[in-house]
Amino acid sequence: MLAFRAAARPFASLIAGLITSSGRPAALAMAVAALSLLGNPAQAQAAQANWWESITGSGTPDYTGRRSEDGDRERAARQAEPLDDLRPDAMPMRSDEMIAAIDAAIAKYQQIADSGGWPVVPPGRMMREGEDDDRVPLLRRRLQMSGDMRTRNDGYNSYTFDGELTDAVKRYQRRNGLRPTGRVERSTYPALNMSVDQRIAQLRMNLGRIRELMANPVEERYVLVNVPAFQLEAVQKYEVQQRHRVIVGRTERQSPSVKATIRALNFFPYWRVPDSVAHLDLIPRLLKEPDYLQNEKIRVLDAAGVKEIDPQTVNWTAPEAQKLKFRQDPGPQNALGLVRIDMPNEHTVYMHDTPMKPLFAQRSRAFSAGCVRVEGVFNLVDWLAHYEQGWGEPGRAQQIVEAGQAVDVTLTRPVPVYFVYITAWAERDGDVEFRPDIYGRDGAVDQVAEMDRDPSEPAPAVTLAP
């Protein structure tokens, strides 16, 4: 069922929403034409030339004097090579096939343990192609034992880090959720030097988590978010039909494990700022930036969340300020983006779009305050609403956004959703995958700060968002 809400936003804001929501020529042409009708050809020309800069977090930051030549080359290589961190086939994480694959991985690793395990590669300075290092033979042996170095040269004791070893290191890094640089650097050593017994224990722990998910009958249609893998899978008839990269909660604002039901889709949503975000993030920020509320179109409401209050009349350092509520208007600046996926639960977390789309290019994506931001969310929305009247064909979500009309869709066929914490699994081809224990729930050292960080660029700023 579709319900329309009044979208009381200026026409220019609607145009900005169109520009932000789509890179498609049709949407851009609509926006430029509309601005021309407003009698401002210069503004229309600017929109056409720089429309991407209206997306929060986009643009070209100036790091003059901070980039090294090596950093420039690596950045160009990363941009040329698309992110490849999504699982490769249609086998669901929550399946008997996955249980069988993990059982086979445990058996393989147990054979390695019974033969004495793999060697430790002493941590130290970076190892990379073209350089000599006394540890290279150990590294080569380590990667042969885990199957990352496909050619076996047991008698080859060269100390030179060659191209074959670079490829093996990249393969290992991909399997461990690390940025595949081909260099053995600080972020690689902790994963590389986990013993085979520790890896077996990790596989067994995650096998137990998947068995627990399988304890109840598996629904024909559901969504599963694997938090430490930063990815979502939409499953129907026991096959994955879509996968999406996601942004999850940062270490101090963890995304919880959740079993809930997706019941509605909200286009052009308001964001009712949670009290925790208001107290920890919003009020401290507006004390430093008095215009922040106006710039971000955030309204101040009374303690009941009903009556609007002039922020100029509030003493933000007084205890009474902690009782106030905040609500952000719909639009391209909204922290929820252009659509929210409603899934009522005790943790009050949900899934949503985001204006901070450049963050999806990071391999480690723990940036939110607990909710889950979904890349390509309109495709997921089309899948969720597939059986709703008038939906059917893909692209309907995009059409609603381009129409600029606030719409609430109540699903007549609600979809179960799971937020889970799986840090080890196996694929049908025999590859064994591990991910850093970002929240310490496996009892391992938190490695999230070491993941996918280019030292020539600053870490992404923590934004005010769910």
Catalytic residues: 352, 371
**Interatomic CA distance for residues 28 and 40, integer angstroms:** 16
Work out the burial of residue 395: count CB atoms within 10 Å of its CB; fewer than 13 is exposed, 13-18 middle, 19 or more buried: exposed
**Interatomic CA distance for residues 190 and 204, integer angstroms:** 20
CA separation (Å) from 285 to 11, 274, 277, 316?
29, 15, 11, 11
**Interatomic CA distance for residues 250 and 243, integer angstroms:** 21
Residue 50, token pair as written in the block: 């720089």
Q: What are the two backbone dihedrals, phi and then psi, of residue 394, each rounded to the nearest 5 degrees?
A: -60, 150
CA angle 333, 36, 399 (to 5 degrees): 55
Q: How many helices (H) and strands (E) does the chain have?
A: 14, 16
**Interatomic CA distance for residues 170 and 165, integer angstroms:** 9
Tokens 């893998």 correspond to 229
Cα 170 → chain centroid: 21
Residue 442, token pair as written in the block: 């496996």
DSSP string, 71-136: HHHHHHHHHHS----S--SS--SSSHHHHHHHHHHHHHHHHHHHTT-PPP----S-B-TT-B-TTH
Q: Are strands 258-267 and 339-342 parallel, antiparallel or unpaired?
A: antiparallel
Q: Contact at 8 Å (CB) between 365 and 465?
A: no
Tokens 């101040």 correspond to 300
Q: In angstroms, how far is the first alpha carbon of the chain from the final one?
A: 27
Residue 70, token pair as written in the block: 């090596």
Q: Contact at 8 Å (CB) between 231 and 244?
A: yes
